[in-house]
Amino acid sequence: MLRQKIPELVCPAGSLPALKAAVDHGADTVYFGYKNDTNARNFAGLNFDQKAMVEGVRYAQSRGRHVLLAINTFAQPGRVADWQRAVDGAADLGVDAVILADVGLLDYANRRHPDLRLHLSVQGSATSYEAVNFAHREFGVRRAVLPRVLTLAQVELVIKNTPVEIEIFGFGSLCVMNEGRCWLSSYATGESPNTVGACSPAKYVKWEKSPGQMSTRLNGILIDRFGDSEPAGYPTLCKGRFEVNGDTYYALEEPTSLNVLEILPEIAGIGVAAIKVEGRQRSPTYVAQVTRTLRAALDALAGDGERFQVKPAWQADLAKVSEGSQATLGAYNRPWR
């Protein structure tokens, strides 16, 4: 029996232990970023300095895995050279590809390092094959990561009309914003993931403990209150609980995670090149659990084809690391269309 062609599994690494966990548990590819604001997951205590990058690239590539470096924020006025040096550093490291969003950086990378493989970041917000083909024609982009706003039918339309490999998200936290272009964060703090690389930058976060509860604030704005028995989430505006007309609830977005296990056959069938796991800000334990589960599911799909069935144990394992212990198919499935 022929094995079905399945998408590449692309997993996050916010630290060297997370990178090794992804490789050891079956990732085809890992992605990471610098320990600075060229990286859209620029959280304190995470990411890679030069020594860790060299070790990470060696560890992954020596085991036959690919390594992607995310330089996926937008170069700031007066500091473009910082982002250009990051691209130069990626080429020197010998990574398999660089993930970029800024068209100026795409142009720089294409001209300065013509042999460096370029991927268009989800932050580039290419939702049509015309946009993807523009990036391919002008900058030689070989793969594009699509924003999580398209149905599977729309993803298929893009795939059918571009020579560029298409990568989609398969598991992890969702965002109500335009893939990281967080106007809420900008409004509250003057900074956003696309400028400083962090949603709710740590310097604006404040935890206030009082009898029976924990309050979280972002730049003085009350985001949520948690009882002593509740796990206190990181204070992001989009996932805060707010009082609206006398009721307090998740007014913008409930904590939940994207989980595409049940539509893996459809994803493979339309020709998706890679499935991406979100979570460079998450722990090595999270990375290991999600990678191991998706690896098992993809391998089963390759072997079983049309007889593929989702095992309850896979869903249970992913539920343990889902935000709010909830899962969704997100925009991939819109029954109200």
* pLDDT tens per residue across span 282-295: 999 999 999 999 99
Residue 191 lies in a domain: no
Residues 227 and 277 in one domain: no
pTM of the model: 0.92
Number of domains in the chain: 2
> Could you tell me the residue range of the domain that residue 160 belongs to?
8-174+256-332
Each residue's pLDDT tens digit, 104-132: 999 999 999 999 999 999 999 999 999 99
Residues 20 and 106 in one domain: yes
Task: Cite the beta strand spans of 182-280 per DSSP E.
Answer: 205-210, 213-218, 221-227, 241-244, 247-250, 257-259, 274-277
Sequence letter at residue 191: E
Residues 223 and 110 in one domain: no
Residue 92 lies in a domain: yes
Residue 190 lies in a domain: no
Instruction: Find the mean pLDDT for residues 219-223.
Output: 91
Say how far apart CA 11 and CA 155 lie, in whole Å. Answer: 20
CATH of residue 54's domain is: 3.20.20.60
Residue 297 lies in a domain: yes
Residues 203 and 285 in one domain: no
Residues 206 and 293 in one domain: no
* Residue 117, CA atoms < 13 Å, CB-side half-sphere: 15
Contact 190, 184 (CB under 8 A): no
- DSSP characters for 28-72? SEEEE-BSSTTSTT--TT-SB-HHHHHHHHHHHHTTT-EEEEEE-
Residue 124 lies in a domain: yes
Residues 168 and 144 in one domain: yes
pLDDT score of 336 more than 60: no
- DSSP characters for 247-266? EEEESS----EEE-GGGHHH
Which distant-in-sequence residues (6+ apart) come within 8 Å of 100 by Cβ?
71, 72, 87, 106, 109, 118, 119, 120, 121, 124
Residues 28 and 165 in one domain: yes
Each residue's pLDDT tens digit, 3-56: 678 999 999 999 999 999 999 999 999 999 999 999 988 888 899 999 999 999
Instruction: Find the mean pLDDT for residues 58-76.
Output: 96
Residues 244 and 267 in one domain: no
Residue 70 lies in a domain: yes
- Residue 227 forms beta bridges with which residues? 213
Residues 228 and 261 in one domain: no
Look over the chain and give the mean of its residue pLDDT values, rounded to a whole number.
92
For the chain, what percent of residues have pLDDT higher than 90? 71
Question: Which tops the pLDDT comparison, 324 or 161?
Answer: 161
pLDDT at site 3? 62
3-state SS of 133-157 is HHHHHHHCCCEEECCCCCCHHHHHH
For residue 1, name the pLDDT band (cuts at 50, 70, 90): very low
Residues 237 and 260 in one domain: no
Task: Tell me whether strands 118-120 and 257-259 are parallel, antiparallel or unpaired.
Answer: unpaired
pLDDT score of 176 more than 80: no
For residue 239, name the pLDDT band (cuts at 50, 70, 90): confident
- Residue 222 forms beta bridges with which residues? 217
pLDDT at site 271? 97
- Radius of gyration of the chain from its Cα atoms, rounded to whole angstroms: 20
For residue 337, name the pLDDT band (cuts at 50, 70, 90): low
